[in-house]
Every structure is written in structure tokens, then in C-alpha cells.
Chains A and B, each alone.
Chain A
Amino acid sequence: MNSQLEKIKNEAIAAIGRARDENTLTQAEIRALGRKGALTEFLRDLGRLAPEQRRAAGEEGNALKKELESVITRRRAELQKIAASGLAEREWLDVTAPGRELPAGHLHLTTQAIREITSIFSRLGYNCVSYPEVEWDWYAFESLNMPKDHTARDEWETFFLSGPSHHKFGRLVLTPHTSSGQVREMERGELPIRMVNIAKCYRRQSDVNHLPMFHQFEGLLIDKNIAITHLKGTLDYFAREFFGAGRRTRLRPFHFRFTEPSFEIDVSCGVCGGTGESRGGRCRVCKQGWLELGGAGMVHPNVLRAGGVDPREWGGFAFGWGVERTRMMKSAANIDDIRVLYKNDARFLEQF
């Protein structure tokens, strides 16, 4: 073998043997096989040799290159193995220590409830809309078949606002229900209608069960050939999606001025399974096995007329209920004073 090659080989093998870690090994590799390495330069300088020596030296040089490469590969594997064997000890971590904290905020329970409800109805093709909270008497009451001085108005303990009345639409009120959006929606003049209107509502009340401001949900469908059976289908769909497959709904006769017939919607109680009895006694959560979800009904022809819709051609139904209450019913979260929802105590907000 060429003496020069011999020297290169011995030095390289020695260096590889001396290497105690991957870094030193890489340095040894670079010294022999790198761009300016000894063997690389030898092969580059072959051209200077006489043609008869050139071929043999070339073959020997290339063979050495292959040999060194394979020695290095083997040695690298050895070194990696050695390195790995002590790794568990050297780089031991307390894997149970807490992770690095990421910023984490919270969406309010009401926002979460609104999202759940709207997503269910959007699957049925309902659009989310938004209408005024400060509204004329006409939209809040009169157009909903509740003439002035009608006793039905007393059911809504309404906030009135100071300020001049409208010559046609009457006083300014804080909407006591989302139903005030019904006629506004019809006035857009686009039929058929499938809308959900979720908004803040206001009533003069404040106790453990009532908030002066709360959120109500209103669904309105106007189309041709609409019957009570369709309302039932829609509410059953909602109840199953929102509360779970095992829950049933029941429509009970009720009275609202803006729907006829009118219903109250009950959902079977999740605590007693709709039996009205739990642990040998009367269920504390429900009334005879049912929980009141909200109100519903077939839109009153007078309301359709007020919205410029011909009741001989079109019909529909509306339904609505309190968002907060519905969420409570689902989680069976025993919030004994509903006012905690809007007290904004961080210790409450961060629970959800």
C-alpha cells in the first residue's frame, strides 16, 4: 500500500479509536474524510501521480475510504449505545412536576350555553339574528296581540325607559322577552323564516330564582303547511341533542297572547328519570317527573298580520326559554342562587 495512504489510515484508525464521544468522532471523520480531510486531499491530488501509479493508488484510496466509513459508522453506533446507556441517570427528570403553564381564560357559562343551543338549531337550518333590546312598546307587546291595558302584560314585569314616546309605536321599553324580534323578523319580508334570536331580556325581578337581566332564546319558523306535529318534532330534536337521547319532552296546554294554541314544554326529569320519585320520596328537582323548559305555540294569525304576513297562506311556530335556566337543567348544577351568574366572582367564572 502506498505509504502515504498507510499513514492516513493509521492516524485515522487511531483517532477513531481514541474518540470517546460523537463529537470527537466527527472531528476525526472530518480530518480524514472532510472537504479538506487527508484522504480527500490524497484522492484529489491523484492527478499529480504518474498514470501507471494513479490507478492503483486510486483503487487503494477508494477502498480505504469505504473501510474508514464503515469503521466510523460502527464506532458511532457503539458510542451512541454507550451514551444511551447512562442517559436515564444523567438526564433524569421529575416527570410528575407541573408542566409549563399556558395562558388559560374562560368563556362565561352563558356564552357556552348560547353556543350549544344555537349549534343545535343551526343544524336544522335556523339563522342567528339579533334585534333591539331597547324597543318600542309596539314590538314588545302590541304587535304580539297584547293591546294596552291587557292583563297579560302584567306577567312581564317590564322596565320602561324615560324619554319621548313614538307617535305610532308607543313607549320605550327594555324587552322583557325575545318575542319582540318576531315581528321585526317578519318585516324583513323574506319568507320562509327559520330564525333564532338570543338576546338579553329584562324584568323587574331579583331573587334567588330570578335575574333582572337574563338571556332568552327565541326560535321562529314560518312556512307553508306547518302544524303542531312539526313543533313537536323540532322540540324533540332539541331535547335529544341538548339533554341526551334518554330524555322526553311533553307539550302541555298553556296561554300566551302571541301564540294559539300555546304550550308549555316539559322535559322529563334527569334526576328521577321522569318518575317523580327518587329514593322512596318525592323528587326534589321536578314537578311530578317533569321540568318546565319554556313556552311555545303556533304563531297567532294576528301576529302574522302585524308582521305583514298573510295568515291564510303562511303559518308557523315559535318557542323560547331562558338560556341560563336551560343550562342549569342540563348540568343539574345546583346553583341555589341564580344571581351568582352575573356577580362575576372570578372563583365562579374560572370553574367553567
Chain B
Amino acid sequence: MNISVSYNWLKEFLRCKLPSEEFARRLSESGMGVERIERLGESLEQIVAATVAEVRPHPNADRLRIALVDAGKEVFEVVCGGVNLKAGIKVAFAKVGARVRWHGQGELIELKPAEIRGAKSFGMICAASEIGLQNFFPHAEREILDLSWLNAPNGTPLKQALGLDDQIFDIEVTTNRPDALSVIGLAREAAVILKTPFLWKPPSRPKKRAVSVFLSVSVAVAVRPFCPRYQAIVLDGVKVAPSPWWLQLRLLSAGIRPISNIVDITNYVMLEFGQPLHAFDYDRLEGKKIEVRTARAGEKIRALDGRDYELKPEMLVIADAKKPVAIAGVMGGEHSAVAEKTTRIVFESANFAPVSVRRTSRSLNLQSDSSLRFEKGLSTEGTAPAFLRAIELAEKIAGGKAAGKMADVRRGPYKPLTFDFDQVKTEEVIGVPVKTAEMKRILLALGFTLKKKGKIFSATVPWWRDHDIEDSRDLTEEVARVVGYHTLPSVLPAGVPPLRPPVPQLVLVDRLKTLLADAGATEIYSYSFVSEKMLEAVRVKGLAPIRLANPLSADFVAMRTNLAASMLEVAAQNQMERPAAAYFEVAKVYLPRGKGELPEERLDLIVACIGESADGREYYRVKGYLERLTAEWNIHLGLERPEDGERLFHPGRAAKILFNGEGAGAIGEIDAVVSRRFGLERRAALFTIPVDAILRAARPRAYRPIPAFPPVKRDVSFIVGVRKTYEEITTLLKGVTPLLTDYSLFDIYQGKGVPAGKKSLAFHLIFSAPDRTLAAQEADAALEKIIGQLKGKLGAEARR
């Protein structure tokens, strides 16, 4: 969570003159990261507080007037169109040379002497948005800014008059440090890091004085574990009004909108102390009673955001005698809110359990500055100082007087935490020696108390750190970070690297990807989870996918069991731009196993080829990739027609993939029905195999001597029925004679010159013998034998 903090406010508790950049760097290096510095009043050069001394009509324009502006030493004549312009008001006056944003829009433009419809004008009376102050005066955006309330002599630079000579740090505070979501917490951090005194003093109890009417509120806490402490007090004689400018400015620079003095005080104290507070209208509390309890069935509340919330029985509420008046730690109710006419209030300073606040906030989908702090875990000891500070401020600026006793209901006495602090271990973790005095200084300045305990110390944790300091190791971190990681040397570890062979699957995938990309396929990465529609489109028989319990959207509802659906989606999405393409993906599919077992995460490979021709070309293209990888890993590739065609594939163009005779995957052209589901209008063929199938089937290569004698080559075509397969022919071919040492198909032809219902397969045949140069006649005899066999068994007619 980020917090915006004024540098001036921090400096109230620090003796520090560092430039803001330097301060930000030091704080980031050892404490909290400063992400941005905003310089207030940066664009307010040459802009001063001034009084409109006189207003005259413009000679040539009805809507414009001429103002005489008293800027202290000088009086300027200015043409002005502001409807709220009148003599006597105090304004923000931009002199010639100032930079303003016309009508609050566009770039900053430097003011020059001008002549507007015949009248001279030397400067400008500004609206808030024209000088970048719209956030500070949100109500007065369009009109000229009326600063009559401002007690500053004419000619005072506006930056000083408004207290905008400041820098605002945007600081990221980690979840474990809600104590630092406050000015005091951050000032304490800075004091330790900068080695400068921390000037904050705890507020004192209000002086006892005679009370004319004794007012009290009874407090009962029904659920102690959810509300370890609750403090409340009634204040009488409150006059609700806008807060003074200094207080408003502090809230505005922290991004909080001022509302009224009492509400502003609760927010101010929250920013200062990190402890959320709340104020109730005393007269709106039924029975003058506060009960901290869980909500009753059917109870509702309209919160300060104006929305109605239905409360559930596990939610903690603050209730009066009849009804909930606040959602504990999250937001107050509208009914009991402090309003303009309120004169008696109840201040609440309480501690609520993080788990309870977090659950309620999540369940109602309602977050507030208060809930965000409580859910990080605040100390029960934080309520009192903030409480006292609020009372002090209410007295000072709203005229409120304590009208009764302070109620303080708590679970039990506070026991601070204590842990061992071992300097030697700390040095070991840091890696360089640190002086004991420095370690002690750091821990003491952070608020720990130290007691010698033999060679080590016993450290008592300050209350504001009682949630994040959990053991001795945390003390090490405190010392290490303040010493500064940036001061430590960089050293590579000296130990011997563990001897462990690389994971074979990872090595294989690496090679596989390179090979496929080099062969022309483009790698895709698609999401592991898929939509219901995609599950339907490619269904794996007998496999119920694992579903997400809290999906983000309908696009991602279940873990995929195959890569085909994602692949077809990608193919379809790119079909206009890339009508012919090859893609691959290597990714996991998630297959459920038995109860109490993690699912199988199987790493699969999918390769797909997309194209336009219907003649089976895509099938052969994708098969080319399959052959390329079986050749790479020396795997014997076999293909078998599936018994019952998988729904995914074209019924006549699908096969089971066998690696060294064992089933490994499937290949085929995508069925038109399936393609249509993806809007894919082109032909697609793909194969998919588990990566481990390659790993299992991969065979080492054995050396074969290079033939010593030259081979004899013969070309021959076999004319066979069109349903005869390459595999049938070659299986026969191979078995005829040992002199045939190699063969390759170079053409399949059907058409003119080949009888109807037949096709021609043309082969290069290589004949050789290991022990001699083969004579032409021997090769021819072997060829005759082959031709004879093929004729006999397949009815093949040979053409040479």
C-alpha cells in the first residue's frame, strides 16, 4: 500500500535539512521505497496573493471587466472575465512572466502584457485549475479563486501564503509495516536511518476540569477476540465547521478530501499515527450505548459511502441499543455520522482483529483507509495516543470538551514480546562486521529495549512493531537494512556447485524447439486454461478436466487436457494474415488422477500446418516435421490407422503414431466439423505427442562403416491400385533381397498414362554388396526378383 506524505509534516518530527531527492534515496535504501516526489507549488513562480482594489467596466466588451489589482508594492490593471470578480476580494494574481494553463487546459504558457479588445492587461486573476491547484480547491474549479479567507499581505508569493512550499513523497509501505503507514512511523524510520534525533512527543491526557453536564456512553464488547480494545469518549460543545487551511492542506496532500473539522480530525490523526478513528453523533446513538458485536441475521446498514450493505452474522459491527451504527474497522454508518448541526460527539479509538476486518471488507467488497490498516494488524497499544491527540485537536479547533470519562475496554493487560538478539549471527547473515555500538544504536532508535543476556541481548519489541517482529531473525533484518544493503560488497559464493546432470526433458525440449523453428515452424504460447467452448470443441473421451474454483472470466474455466483446441484457435485467428503457416507449442496438459494426488502435468508437443489445398498436402507437411524429429532422435516411426477415428480428425486422414512400435500420439487432418467450431476456413493438419515419448524412444546412434564398394542405382515405378499404401509396398520391397540396401520414393502419380483406379509410385533403388563391386547384371537380376514379388503379391505392374 502506498502513502502520500508531506516532507514538511515529516520535518516536524525530525531535524533534517536534506534536499527531498536525497531524503528519498536514503529512505528507499534502508526503509521504505519512495516511488515519486511531487513538488507542490512548482508552477507558482510570479504568482502572488493580491486584493482586487477596484472593478471597472470594459469599454468594448460586456462580459469582460477591468480590475485594479493591489499586489503590495504595485497596482496592476488587468482584464478579467470571472463572473465572481468583485472589489475587495483576495485573489491569486499571476504577474507577467508567470506560467499558467489557460482555462485549465493545455500546456503551461508564459504570461505576457496583452491588449484584450482594446484594453491593456498586465497579468491574470487565476482560477484554481489555471495554476494547478484544482486538487486543493475542488469546488472552485471554474471561477476565479476567492482567497479572501487567507491572512496574507498583498504581494506574498502564493506558494508561501498557502503553505505549498513542500514536497510530497509517494511511499510504498510493505504489508508488514502498518506502523509506517503514518507520519510518525515514517519520521521514526527516517530518524534512525539519517542518525538524527526523533522529536515526537506522545500527547498528554486532557486536563481534568469541571464538567457542567456529565455525559457518558456505555461500552460493551461481546466478541473480545475480534475487538481486543475499544476506547470511547463523549465531547460536548462541538462546533462543526470547515477545518483550518493548514489541516485541510495536509489531508489534501495525502489524497483525502476535507469534509468538516471533526471528520477531518479523525483522518488527520489516522495519517499522523496510523490508527483509524471514528466519530459518532452522540445524540443519534440510541440508548447512549455502544455494543461491539457480530451482526444479527437480516441487519442492514447504510454506510458513509451512501450505499446499503447487508450484514452477515460473522461480520463485526458497532451497534447502539437498537441497530448497527458502523461496520467495525471498515466504515461508519450514515445515520450516526457527524453532521453540520452536531454538537455532541463520541470519538472511537479501537483495535479490531485483522482476520475479521479483512473478511468483512472482502465479503462486502468495501475497502477504506481504515480497513486497509486494520487488516495488516495494529497494536492494541496504538489506540490511546491517537485518542488523546484527537481530543486535543477537537478542543483546539472545534471547541469540543471532554464531557465524561474515557471508556477503555480491553481483553487483558499488554505483554510486550521479547526475543534474543545475537550480534554474531547477525554479522554472519550480513556478511561483514558491524560494530556492536551501531547495532545497539539502531535497535534502540527503532524503539527496542535491550538487556544484556550473557553474550547476547534480550530485545523487547516496541508495541508499534508487535505484529511484524516474529523472531530473532527479524532483528537481524532491522540491523542489516539500516546499515544499508548498498554499503555491502558483492561477492560470488565460494562453495562447489552441486554435481547434478541436467534434467533430460529440459535438454530435449530446448533442442526440439530449435529444430522446429529452424525447420520453419513458429512457436506459440497459449494459456493453460481454456473456455467451456474450447472444452466442448475438442473433447478427450473419458477425461473430466480440472476446473477452476474461482475463474477470472468465462475465457478461462478449466485446465486444458489437450493442446489442439488452443492451436486451432490460434490458426483461425491468423488465417487471414497467414493463409499458409506452421506453428508449434510445447506446453503442459493437466490430467486428473486419484483423490489426494496432484494431477499429471504432461508436457506435450503439438505441431500444426495450415493451408488451402484439399489434396492432403498439409498432412504431408506436418508429417514432414514428425519425420524430421524422429530422424533427429533416431526413432523408428510407424503409423497405424486408428480403430475408430478420433472425432478430432478427418476420417480418411488420421493415424496413430508409433515410436519403435509403441503408441506415442496421433496425427491427422482436422475434421471439417471441428474446424468450423473454431471458424477455421482452411485445411489444418497436426500431430501431438508427449515429449516424454520422444525421450523414451530416442536411441543412440551406432556407427555403420561407410560402404567400400560403389552401389548400382536403378529407378522403377510400380503401378498399383489407389488404396495400396506406401507401407505395404515398401514392406514387401525390403524383404526380397539383401542386395537392396536403400530406396526412396520420388513421385506418386495418378492420371494420364496410368490406368483409372491405379497410381504410380516411382522409386530410386540402391543395390550394393558389402564385399564386392556389384555387377550391373546382378543388380538387374535383383530388380527382376523384386518386380516379380510385387506383381505376385500386390498385382503391381512395373515400369522402368
Chain A interface (Cβ < 8 Å from any Cβ of B): 102-108, 110-111, 115, 124-130, 132-136, 149, 151-152, 154-155, 159-164, 166-167, 172, 174, 190-194, 200, 202, 204-206, 212-213, 221, 223-230, 232-234, 236-237, 250-255, 260-264, 276, 287-288, 298, 300-301, 315, 341-347, 349-350
Contact = CB atoms under 8 A, between A and B. Distances in A.
A250 B26 CA distance: 12
A160 B550 contact: yes
A255 B177 contact: yes
- Residue from the set A129, A232, A252 with the largest chain B CB neighbour count within 10 Å: A252
B174 A194 contact: no
A105 B608 CA distance: 13
The list of the 9 closest CB pairs from A to B, nearest first, reads A125-B497, A103-B520, A227-B431, A229-B431, A255-B174, A261-B477, A251-B485, A105-B517, A253-B481
A172 to B, nearest CB: 8
B501 to A, nearest CB: 9
Contact of B24 (A251, A288, A349): A288
Interface string B8-39: 00000000000001001100111111111100
Interface in B556-605: 556, 559, 570, 573-574, 577-578, 581-582, 584, 588, 590, 592, 595-596, 598-599, 601
B431 A230 contact: yes
Contacts of A164: 595-596
Contacts of A237: 492
B175 to A, nearest CB: 6
- Residue from the set B432, B503, B548, B573 with the largest chain A CB neighbour count within 10 Å: B548
Given A124-B497, A263-B485, A160 B473 contact: no
Contacts of B601: 132-134
B490 A261 contact: no
A152 B502 CA distance: 35
B525 interface: yes
A252 B28 contact: yes
Contacts of A126: 497
A350 B522 contact: yes
Contact of A346 (B485, B578, B592): B578
B548 A105 contact: no
A165 to B, nearest CB: 9
A333 to B, nearest CB: 16
A226 B513 contact: no
A137 B592 CA distance: 17
Contacts of A236: 490
- Residue from the set A344, A345, A346 with the largest chain B CB neighbour count within 10 Å: A344
B495 A229 contact: no
Contact of A107 (B175, B176, B474, B513): B513
26 contacts: A103-B518, A105-B518, A106-B517, A110-B525, A111-B513, A133-B528, A134-B599, A154-B175, A160-B548, A161-B549, A163-B547, A202-B528, A204-B552, A212-B552, A223-B493, A227-B429, A233-B490, A253-B477, A255-B176, A261-B477, A261-B480, A263-B485, A264-B33, A288-B28, A300-B473, A344-B570
Contacts of A161: 546-549, 559
A225 B428 contact: yes
A70 B60 CA distance: 113
A133 B513 CA distance: 21
Contacts of A233: 489-493
A155 B528 contact: no
Nearest to B489: A229
A226 B493 contact: yes
A106 B585 CA distance: 11
A149 B355 contact: yes
B590 A206 contact: no
B376 interface: yes
Contacts of A154: 175, 358
Given A127-B500, A134-B601, A347-B577, A228 B519 contact: no
- Residue from the set A155, A251, A346 with the largest chain B CB neighbour count within 10 Å: A346
A191 B516 CA distance: 37
Contacts of B498: 125, 127, 190-194
Given A161-B546, A230-B431, A255-B176, A135 B505 contact: no
B510 interface: yes
A341 B526 CA distance: 9
Contacts of A190: 498, 500
Nearest to A160: B549
A253 B429 CA distance: 15
B83 interface: no
Nearest to A129: B503
Given A206-B552, A344-B525, A224 B514 contact: no
Contact of A130 (B471, B503, B525): B503
Given A103-B519, A200-B528, A344-B573, 9 more contacts: A105-B519, A106-B523, A108-B523, A130-B503, A132-B601, A194-B498, A252-B29, A252-B33, A255-B468
Interface string B368-394: 000000011100000000000000000
Contact of B476 (A108, A192, A255, A261): A261
Contact of A254 (B174, B468, B480): B174
A345 B598 contact: no
B422 to A, nearest CB: 12
A200 B597 CA distance: 20
A206 B552 CA distance: 8
A312 to B, nearest CB: 10
B756 interface: no
A252 B175 contact: no
Nearest to A109: B525
Interface in B80-105: none
B468 to A, nearest CB: 8
B702 interface: no
B573 A250 contact: no
Nearest to A173: B549
Contact of A134 (B517, B553, B559): B559
A136 B597 CA distance: 10
A237 B491 CA distance: 9
A31 to B, nearest CB: 28
A213 B513 contact: no
B387 to A, nearest CB: 25
A130 B510 CA distance: 14
Nearest to A342: B525
Nearest to B584: A105
Nearest to A155: B175
Given A124-B497, A236-B490, A260 B598 contact: no
Contacts of A151: 175, 354, 358, 375-377
B222 interface: no
A250 B486 contact: yes
Given A228-B488, A234-B492, A301 B559 contact: no
Nearest to B575: A346
Interface in B330-382: 354-355, 358, 375-377
A135 B582 CA distance: 33
B529 A162 contact: no
B522 A106 contact: yes
Interface string B388-430: 0000000000000000000000000000000000000000111
Contacts of B44: none
B559 A162 contact: no
Nearest to B21: A288
Nearest to A316: B493
Nearest to B556: A212
Contacts of B526: 342, 344
B761 interface: no
A250 B529 CA distance: 37
A107 B488 contact: no
A228 B520 contact: no
Nearest to A249: B490
Contacts of A110: 525
B506 interface: yes
Contacts of A301: 471, 473
A323 to B, nearest CB: 11
B754 interface: no
Contacts of B524: 108, 344, 349
